[in-house]
Amino acid sequence: MLTNTLLLSNQLPTLQYSSTPERFDETWEAPLATLLGLGRAAGADFIEYFLEHRNHISCLAEDDSITSISPSLATGAGVRVFRGKADCYVSTNDLSFSGLKAALEKGLSILGLQLPAPSSFIPEINLELLRDYATKRGKDGWLPLCSSIREMGEVLLDGTATLNKKASHVQSRRASYFRDWQEVLVAASDGTFARDIRLTQSVGFNILCADGANRTSIGARDGNTSDANFLRTWDYQQAAEQIAESAGKMLYADYVESGTYPIIMANHFGGVIFHEACGHLLETTQIERNTTPFADKKGEKIAHESLTAWDEGRAENAFGTIDMDDEGMPGQRTLLIEKGVLKNFLADRTGSVRTGHPRTGSGRRQNYTFAAASRMRNTYIDSGEYTNEDLFASVDKGIYCKKMGGGSVGATGQFNFSVDEAYLIENGKLTKPLKGAILIGEAKEIMNKISMCSQDLELAPGFCGSVSGSIYTTVGQPHIKVDSITVGGR
């Protein structure tokens, strides 16, 4: 809401604000409300400020040495200005009142607007009482509780040593960890005024083994949000043992024979294919670009009736969990597909304005240098009614994809993904390990071939890159059966 004040445009240079520089709190309300009112007085339909403090550190161990420790600090802000359906975004690392005002003025000028005349009244935006998720949920004390650099190094070196003991024919070992702490504040001309702190951590191993012409590379990562003690409680010995076991099986595995097969895909990180091949196509950024085959399919069947899928920001400690998105909207659950029927798209503010789909708390960005866009959070295929035994028993000859690797996805859903660990299925039983498998398909076809979903849903951490940068997401699924898919091999 807007309320006229006695503030005139020519008085702005004389204003003095005492905002707390090291923390985003209520002291930021007055300057931001004034700047938002200034933008409205200039003719903008909507203005949003996003402020950020960031403290990031990463650590890398290679074989038996720490080879890199990389800390970084960042502070900055971005302002987004809307005029009709057009918008622009300007960022700055100057959080003074004059710096934030200069960024606003630049954004206004890009849209053909200018600051009001000196004698113009500036309406002040009535911001809500600060919605402070950080203080409410005890997040302000997280950063000092995180693992020290010494602890990081000790865990990673102990992990690579365990890899060396458990695996054979080791050529190289790597372990990496990062901790990303972020404080954000969002203030917008619709009255939004919200603060949050996020703490994201990830740790993983990678091992390369070789024996003559036989080679294999296996890796795995774990991740967490909201637990300052994550690295201290992470079971690096179990993780190293699992990777070493997989490497031993894949080192001498036969290469898969190319063809079309039914496959069973494992739970956990197996959900990366749904994320890449379908999830992105349900973001309103894809509708705006006309690059999704599902744009006009809401309410229609786009997948097998066994498939139900969600995107949400509420799962405890999951990598994509957020109390609020980067536009200040509280986290929520969004039903994407229910028994094969498309129910919802993922929409940020811009996507909602331009496509008409309601906002879903999905406006996310890498940092203050990016405008928010519709992005996934924790995205997964839900549990089904079958057991794993049911899935395997239904396959006479096929492939079990236990561990997925990297891949690529085209603009409209064409994909190919490597499989790091695979096994031949014969008469419902696993018979021998296979390597070199590449899954090839198209989203609108593969979704109708996921005919069975097991009951063992598990989530896995991931990283997602798109128009608003790289963000933390979760993928997941139970074991699923795909009736047929093209498998590249030899």
Query: Would you place residue 1 in the very low, low, confident or very high pLDDT band (cuts 50, 70, 90)?
Result: very low
Residues 205 and 220 in one domain: yes
What whole-number distance in Å separates Cα of residue 345 and Cα of residue 279? 9
The count of domains in the chain is 3
Residues 243 and 275 in one domain: no
Residues 306 and 388 in one domain: yes
Residues 200 and 277 in one domain: no
What pLDDT was estimated at residue 408?
81
Query: Would you place residue 6 in the very low, low, confident or very high pLDDT band (cuts 50, 70, 90)?
Result: low
Q: What percent of the chain stands above pLDDT 90? A: 90
What pLDDT was estimated at residue 40?
95
- Would you say residue 287 has pLDDT above 90? yes
Query: Would you place residue 411 in the very low, low, confident or very high pLDDT band (cuts 50, 70, 90)?
Result: confident
Let me know if residue 190 belongs to a domain.
no
Query: Would you place residue 406 in the very low, low, confident or very high pLDDT band (cuts 50, 70, 90)?
Result: confident
What pLDDT was estimated at residue 2?
40
- Would you say residue 154 has pLDDT above 70? yes
- Would you say residue 9 has pLDDT above 80? no
Give the chain's length.
Answer: 490
- Would you say residue 4 has pLDDT above 50? no
User: What number is the average pLDDT over the span 322-330?
Assistant: 98
Let me know if residue 124 belongs to a domain.
yes
- Would you say residue 460 has pLDDT above 70? yes
Range of the domain at 77: 2-136
Q: What is the pTM of this model?
A: 0.94
Q: What percent of the chain stands above pLDDT 70? A: 98
Residues 101 and 235 in one domain: no
Query: Would you place residue 409 in the very low, low, confident or very high pLDDT band (cuts 50, 70, 90)?
Result: confident
- Would you say residue 3 has pLDDT above 70? no
What pLDDT was estimated at residue 124?
80
| 46-60 tens-digit pLDDT | 999 999 999 999 999
Residues 338 and 379 in one domain: yes
Cβ(100)–Cβ(92) below 8 Å: yes
What whole-number distance in Å separates Cα of residue 270 and Cα of residue 460? 9
What pLDDT was estimated at residue 201?
98
Residues 61 and 97 in one domain: yes
Residues 87 and 7 in one domain: yes
130: helix, strand or coil: coil
Q: Which of 202, 289, 274 minimizes the C-alpha distance to 470?
A: 202
CB atoms within 10 A of CB 421: 23
Q: Of 217, 236, 253, which marks where a domain is finished?
A: 253
- Would you say residue 250 has pLDDT above 60? yes
Residues 6+ apart with CB under 8 A from 154: none
Let me know if residue 189 belongs to a domain.
no
Residues 305 and 447 in one domain: yes
Let me know if residue 191 belongs to a domain.
no
Residues 210 and 303 in one domain: no
Residues 263 and 295 in one domain: yes
**What torsion do the CA atoms of 42, 48, 54, 59 make, to the nearest 10 degrees?**
-120
CATH number at residue 232: 3.30.2290.10
DSSP states of 213-269: TEEEEEEEEEEEES-TTHHHH--HHHHHHHHHHHHHHHHTPEEPPPEEEEEEE-SGG
Let me know if residue 277 belongs to a domain.
yes
Residue type, 22: E
Of 8-12, 70-74, 79-83, 172-176, the least confident: 8-12
Residues 116 and 161 in one domain: no
- Would you say residue 242 has pLDDT above 50? yes
- Would you say residue 490 has pLDDT above 90? no
Q: Of 253, 269, 302, which marks where a domain is finished?
A: 253
What pLDDT was estimated at residue 236?
94
- Would you say residue 14 has pLDDT above 80? no
Query: Parallel, antiparallel, or unpaired: how do β-strands 397-409 and 259-265 relate?
Result: parallel
